[in-house]
Amino acid sequence: MTTWGLLASTWNWEPTVVAGSALLLLGYLWAVRFRFDGATAVFGAGVGVMLFALVSPLDELGDEYLFSAHMLQHILIDLVAPMLFVLGFPAALAARVLAWRPAAAIERVLGAPAVAWFLGVGTLWVWHLPALYDETLRSEAVHTFEHLTFLVTGTIFFWPALAATGRKAMNPLIAVAYLVLAAVVNSVLGIVFTLSETPFYAGYLHPEDTLGALTLIRQTWGLDPVADQQLGGVFMWAIGSLVFLVAIMVVFVRWYREPDEDAGPGAGAGEEARA
């Protein structure tokens, strides 16, 4: 088997995944009254990232052979897609949703920065405990549940720092600290994998090799269990940090665009007159 042959043959257009992604996008479009703008494009990109992570070769390779492929998939569904979902959720839609008292009550609890931070970061760490991680490789139901928790808690995590809810936003400096601390904790886990010489997950030691790809992966790609785990660790701290950096840049751009509260309403006109 060749590399291109393996990558071409491991796309899995699971009907439930495709249908779920389509329903999510259609539900969003209905909620925004089928208005197509920048927010719609961002949310749609989030759905596309989620779909790619779940149907591309990353899913099959991560299930059967490679920790590193699984890490790339986790980055997409735990960080990239949720961040895009939150950035693509317009303030007007948030106001309509939060006008419903039960939704507002849930948001007050789960949207609290401390709660959201620990849910997002804690979920990532808990699912990488060897006993739970190996169970996701053995059970499709557990694996599906893992992915759902990543998507949900990832969205909850980004909500306090990035959501346009119409309520008083998190102070930009606090939002940056919130994101930086999460990036550091994420990087610590990635560095543990990068520096370890001991494979943590039994499922990757002796895969069943249903695709006949083990020789290609071990010999041509040079990814034995240790090298694969170390590469996955690099992905986690390096690529994960880039995602957090993008979120931090969004916070700074929004902060820069905020009107100067110290300047009076006539400040701009006065400056123009002096010019």
Instruction: Summarize pLDDT for 18-74 with one digit per residue, the tens.
Output: 999 999 999 999 999 999 999 999 999 999 999 999 999 999 999 999 999 999 999
Residue 203 CA to residue 168 CA, distance in Å, equals: 46
The 10s digit of each residue's pLDDT in 99-135 is 899 999 999 999 999 999 999 999 999 999 999 999 9
For residue 270, is it within any domain?
A: no
The 10s digit of each residue's pLDDT in 128-161 is 999 999 999 999 999 999 999 999 999 999 999 9
Structural domain that includes position 123: 10-258
For residue 57, is it within any domain?
A: yes
- Residue 261 confidence (pLDDT) above 80: no
For residue 269, is it within any domain?
A: no
For residue 251, is it within any domain?
A: yes
- Residue 94 confidence (pLDDT) above 50: yes
Q: Chain-centre distance of CA 108, in angstroms?
A: 22
pLDDT at position 6, please? Answer: 93
The 10s digit of each residue's pLDDT in 155-199 is 999 999 998 765 557 889 999 999 999 999 999 999 999 999 999
Nearest Cα neighbor of 76 from 94, 99, 58 is 58
For residue 266, is it within any domain?
A: no
For residue 151, is it within any domain?
A: yes
Indicate the number of domains in the chain: 1
Residue 232 CA to residue 227 CA, distance in Å, equals: 9
Residue 50 CA to residue 84 CA, distance in Å, equals: 10
pLDDT at position 23, please? Answer: 97
For residue 163, is it within any domain?
A: yes
| Cβ-contact 87, 42 below 8 angstroms | yes
For residue 275, is it within any domain?
A: no
- Residue 90 confidence (pLDDT) above 80: yes
The 10s digit of each residue's pLDDT in 216-258 is 999 999 999 999 999 999 999 999 999 999 999 999 998 888 7
